[in-house]
Structure 1
């Protein structure tokens, strides 16, 4: 079964869609099956139900039981490989 990954930003449109698309391509290139969804931050709690990972583009004061990854790394490419490695480990368990 494919892992469920949530990417959230303020509006759920531009930045989270960009990061979600990039993560999909990176995981596809590694042969990792995942359902990567971009959502609006106000819908985050609901979207995280049953999720295997959360890629955060904006900071919140909340903590989540789901493993959280740095979305800015995927947006800028800085630290992307390390973050991708950790993401793959988390969703492969």
Structure 2
């Protein structure tokens, strides 16, 4: 059983929208008492960095398939489906922790 989830947080350039999502994820994990390590990246880096992470949360469309759970988090920018997105991320994190 793991005690922490490593999450890659990606957007096109690795700056603007991923910063917004980073803040939302920090709050979400804190509220749900999940210990998470968030790493901000460009989506282009995701393939090479996935082996060191448990989950990918991206604000851009995923250019490829990944070996870790990958969640598109547009809902955090648009507000549409945000609750469903929160649930999906928390459920995925719990599955990873329970391993």
* TM, length-normalised to structure 1: 0.87
Per-residue CA deviations over 1:31-90 (Å, capped at 9, x if unaligned) read: 111111210122111222232211121113311121111211122222111111111111
Structure 1: any 5+ residue segments left out of the alignment? none
CA RMSD of aligned residues (A): 1.4
Q: Identify the residue that residue 89 of structure 2 maps to in structure 1.
A: 87
- Aligned 8 A contact 1:4 1:53 in 2: yes
Is the partner of 1:48 in helix, strand or coil?
helix
Structure 1 stretches of 4+ with a deviation exceeding 2 A read none
Per-residue CA deviations over 1:21-40 (Å, capped at 9, x if unaligned) read: 11111111121111112101
- Aligned 8 A contact 1:12 1:38 in 2: yes
Matched residue count: 93
| Structure 1 position 12, deviation (Å) | 0.5
Structure 2: any 5+ residue segments left out of the alignment? none
- Aligned 8 A contact 1:52 1:90 in 2: no
